[in-house]
Structure formats: C-alpha cells, structure tokens
C-alpha cells in the first residue's frame, strides 16, 4: 500500500508501541485517526474510547467510516504477569480479543468497499508459545493469531489484506519493573517500540502477511510447533525463577 494514500485507524495509540507507531505513520505521510482512553496524539485526529465498552467500539467504528479509513491497525492490548489463579480473565479477553474482533466486524463492510484496504493485527510471540505467568494473556493472543489467519483466508479474494505481526518482548510501560527484571534473568531479548513501529510500517508497504519478530523467537515458535516437549523441558527449568518473580510482583 502507498502510505501517502493510507487513512489509518490505530487503536491503543497512546501506549508505548502505539505512540511510536503513530509518530512513524505520520512521518510517512499517512492520515491518522488515533484511539486512546485519555491522552491525545499531537497532529492526529483522535477518538477517546474505552474498548471495554461496546458502545465506545461502535462509536469508534462510525468515526472510522466518517474518516474514510482504509487501514485498521488493532494494536490495543493489555498484559498481566501473575499466577493463573489471579488472572483477570474477563478484562484480558474483552480488550485483547473481543474489542479487535468486534471493531473489525463493524468496520469490515466499509473496508471491503475500498479499492485497497488492510487489517493489521498486533499479536505476540506468546500467542504461539504458552508461557508460565501469562496463561490468560497467551490464550488471548493465540486467539488473535487464529482470528488473523482465518480472516485472511476468508478475505483472500477481496480487496482487504489481513496482516499479523508477532512482537517479542518490547520495552514499554506495559511491563512492570519485576517483569523487566524477569526478562533479564531469563535472557529474553527485547525490542525498542520505535524499531517495532518501523517493522510494522515496512509490512504495510510490502504487503507481507506475517511477521515474527526475532530470529531466536522464530526458531522457538517453529520448535514449539514441531517438538513441544523440548520447549516444555526448557520452560520447566525456568519455572523456579518465574515463580520467584510472581511473589515479588504480588508484594508491589
């Protein structure tokens, strides 16, 4: 897609990845409609909306139609590092799964009417590899991976391209200090939001359907799909460290 012709609805535009992506899209000449819960993005059309609320999602879809959006980037998401017993399942599912699916469904007839349109969903490596401490989050991101794959195949003969990007750990405010320390203890590589934003913009330009961030993570994803017991063993060895950080997170 020619980015100077792109009219982009970006959800979660005020977060770490979202704000970096908003800046990058505008620098590339895109017209941007940004969604957030409170803060505004400089030089962008903005809709304040809470994606926990269906009425706000409907209002956002209406605004996108009025804006003439031909690109939808479902970036908004939340995370939670905890034992599964403490997971806020409803909130994770509402924001990470229900909101992007409902917004896409509401906006899809408009996108299909465009000569060229894109739906880009931001997932996670944890959507392909189940990881202790993120059980509910992994489930929601696995759902987005499946949603993206199935929708892409359903729309393959339409004017709408469905893209899916799977980030690895990214240095944003979504991660607590304990999580950052855990990533360091486990030797997990992480990306800067600006780097990820640049890769997403490249996807929009070249029309690539899928992108897994990180060479090591790409290998781990393939290994997990073919020999999951090997990954089981590796993560079992990391479990004491992960559980230690559970306790530290709970005391904050």
Tens-digit pLDDT profile for residues 72-131? 999 999 999 999 999 999 999 999 999 999 999 999 999 999 999 999 999 999 999 999
Q: How confident is the model at residue 149 (pLDDT cuts 50, 70, 90)?
A: very high
Tens-digit pLDDT profile for residues 197-210? 999 999 999 999 99
**Domains along the sequence of the chain with CATH:** 3-250 (3.40.50.720)
> Token match 């620098």: residue?
27
Answer whether 0.85 is exceeded by the pTM.
Answer: yes
Strands (E), the chain: 7-10, 31-36, 45-48, 71-74, 117-122, 160-166, 169-170, 190-191, 210-212
DSSP reduced 3-state for 46: strand
Q: How confident is the model at residue 247 (pLDDT cuts 50, 70, 90)?
A: low
């Amino acid at each position: 897609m020619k980015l100077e012709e792109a009219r982009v609805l970006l959800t979660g535009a005020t977060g770490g990845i979202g704000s970096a992506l908003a800046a990058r899209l505008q620098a590339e000449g895109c017209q941007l409609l940004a969604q957030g819960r409170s803060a505004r993005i400089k030089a962008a059309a903005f809709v304040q909306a809470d994606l926990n609320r269906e009425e706000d999602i409907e209002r956002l879809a209406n605004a996108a139609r009025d804006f003439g959006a031909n690109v939808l980037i479902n970036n908004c998401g939340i995370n939670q590092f905890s034992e599964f017993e403490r997971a806020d399942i409803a909130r994770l599912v509402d924001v990470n799964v229900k909101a992007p699916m409902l917004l896409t469904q509401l906006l899809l007839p408009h996108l299909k009417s465009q000569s060229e349109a894109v739906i880009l969903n931001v997932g996670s490596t944890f959507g392909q590899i189940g990881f202790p401490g993120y059980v509910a989050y992994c489930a929601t991101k696995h759902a987005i991976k499946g949603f993206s794959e199935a929708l892409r195949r359903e729309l393959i003969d339409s004017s709408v391209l469905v893209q899916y990007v799977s980030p690895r750990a990214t240095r944003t405010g979504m991660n607590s200090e304990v999580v950052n320390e855990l990533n360091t203890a486990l030797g997990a590589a992480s990306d800067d939001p600006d780097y990820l934003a640049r890769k997403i913009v490249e996807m929009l330009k070249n029309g690539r359907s899928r992108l897994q961030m990180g060479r090591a993570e790409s290998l781990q994803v393939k290994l997990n799909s073919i020999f999951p017991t090997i990954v089981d063993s590796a993560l079992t060895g990391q479990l004491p460290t992960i559980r230690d950080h559970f306790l530290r997170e709970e005391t904050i």
